[in-house]
Chains A and B, each alone.
Chain A
Amino acid sequence: MNPKITGVGPNTFYNTTSVGISGTSGVVILQKVLIPAGTYTNGDLLIAQALFEKIGSAGTFTYRLWASPNDPTGSGLTGAIQILVRATSSGNLYIDMGGRHLYIKNASGGGSGIELGTEASDPLTGLFSEMRSSVASNLAINWNADVWIFASGQLASTADRLNHLYLKIWEY
């Protein structure tokens, strides 16, 4: 008999409690997940996904994905390492992060990740994703300590609203 499951495996972390932006054009901390110390190690391949809902087409939306040793609820972006940044067009109301891979080369902070930079449109698929060579970078994330993975968002117009619907990190 299958146990009731929530869409998670042993090394999957997710947040499906919607977080919104309304009435501000400032940077807002959105959903977060805590990866306990030692969960991932050298050689693990992770993927991060997120879905955003934008209401209104008055301005653009910029989101970022971060890794931090600190809970962003108290610390904000202090000490956080940017994993990606993406600015969407004003008319983009369905915003899927598409997926960002992190390959852990050195779990103690010596290097994780594939790309860092503004995502670009793939010439073959037309999708905005990491499947496009841009700026390769190693991210100094120490997976041997607690790691908070979280998103931040910024609306260009206060006439728009935004909901962050889910953030999911898993290993495969």
Chain B
Amino acid sequence: MIRKANGQNLRITANAQVGSTFACASETILGSVTLPPDFLSSGAIITVRNSCTKSSTSSPFTYKLYFNTTANITGALQLGTFSAGVGDFSPNIYRRFVFTNTTTARGLASTFSTSNDVGDVVGATVATFTFTNWLVGGGVFFVTGFRGSGTDTLQLINISLEV
């Protein structure tokens, strides 16, 4: 949808999975947001953000952000990760990417564990992300959770794509 914010177009979309609860005994898709085909052009700077709530303090979770043509882990391009500790009740991932052409984007390295990419961090690098024709063909940004131990569950609160 398109919202009007103080004279500026702000585009945000979210899918219908928001609000579901997952055990994540194996890596599980928590929610997704769709990038429509031919929606962005080269040079776009996007923000993908999402947040969850964790039921209790028994479990650490590994949290990942992906892109694929559909919400499917197989063949997906990993864009980010965050290792949430047992006390992290609201794990989230916040990432920004700049598209240098229709198949390539730049942003924080996908294997660097952090909830957000704001500021500069020793040990983190800028990575190049390549996915065939992802601006022309569109696809899905989605997040997954994987429970390391314990019995906690995760519930996705929101996921959005902003430009």
CB of A10 closer than 8 Å to a CB of B: yes
CB of A156 closer than 8 Å to a CB of B: no
CB of B16 closer than 8 Å to a CB of A: no
CB distance from A11 to the nearest CB of B (A): 6
Interface SS of chain B: helix, strand, loop or mixed?
Answer: loop
Q: Is the pair A94, B44 in contact by a Cβ cutoff of 8 Å?
A: no
Q: Is the pair B119, A127 in contact by a Cβ cutoff of 8 Å?
A: yes
Q: Is the pair A51, B98 in contact by a Cβ cutoff of 8 Å?
A: yes
CB of B36 closer than 8 Å to a CB of A: yes
Q: Is the pair B44, A6 in contact by a Cβ cutoff of 8 Å?
A: yes
With contact pairs A94-B120, A127-B119, A171-B6 given, residues A7 and B43 touching in the complex (Cβ less than 8 Å): yes
Binds A, one of B50-58, B73-81, B121-129: B121-129
CB of B100 closer than 8 Å to a CB of A: yes
Q: Which residues does chain B contribute within 8 Å of A4, judged by CB atoms?
A: 38-41
Q: Which residues does chain B contribute within 8 Å of A128, judged by CB atoms?
A: 119-120
Q: Which residues does chain B contribute within 8 Å of A91, judged by CB atoms?
A: 122-123
CB of A146 closer than 8 Å to a CB of B: no
Q: Is the pair A5, B163 in contact by a Cβ cutoff of 8 Å?
A: yes
Q: Which residues does chain B contribute within 8 Å of A94, judged by CB atoms?
A: 108-109, 112, 117, 120-121, 124-126
Q: Which residues does chain B contribute within 8 Å of A99, judged by CB atoms?
A: 118
Q: Is the pair B39, A5 in contact by a Cβ cutoff of 8 Å?
A: yes
Q: Which residues does chain B contribute within 8 Å of A6, judged by CB atoms?
A: 40-44
With contact pairs A91-B123, A93-B124, A94-B124 given, residues A5 and B41 touching in the complex (Cβ less than 8 Å): yes
CA distance A8 to B46 in the complex (A): 10
Q: Is the pair B118, A165 in contact by a Cβ cutoff of 8 Å?
A: no
CB within 8 Å of A: which B87-146 residues: 96, 98-100, 106, 108-109, 112, 117-126
Q: Chain A 149-172 against B: per-residue CB contact (8 Å), 1 yes, 0 no?
A: 000000000000001011010111
CA distance A131 to B10 in the complex (A): 24
CB of B26 closer than 8 Å to a CB of A: no
Q: How many contacting A-B pairs (Cβ < 8 A)?
A: 104
Q: Is the pair A171, B120 in contact by a Cβ cutoff of 8 Å?
A: no
Q: Is the pair B46, A7 in contact by a Cβ cutoff of 8 Å?
A: yes
CB within 8 Å of B: which A19-65 residues: 49, 51, 53
CA distance A6 to B38 in the complex (A): 11
Q: Is the pair B45, A168 in contact by a Cβ cutoff of 8 Å?
A: yes
**Residue of B9, B39, B112 most packed against chain A (CB within 10 A):** B9
CB within 8 Å of B: which A104-159 residues: 127-129
CB distance from A160 to the nearest CB of B (A): 13
Listed A/B pairs (27) with beta-carbon separation below 8 Å: A2-B11, A4-B39, A5-B11, A6-B44, A8-B163, A10-B7, A11-B7, A14-B45, A16-B100, A18-B100, A49-B96, A51-B126, A91-B123, A94-B108, A94-B109, A94-B117, A94-B120, A94-B124, A95-B120, A96-B96, A96-B108, A127-B119, A129-B118, A129-B119, A165-B98, A166-B45, A166-B98
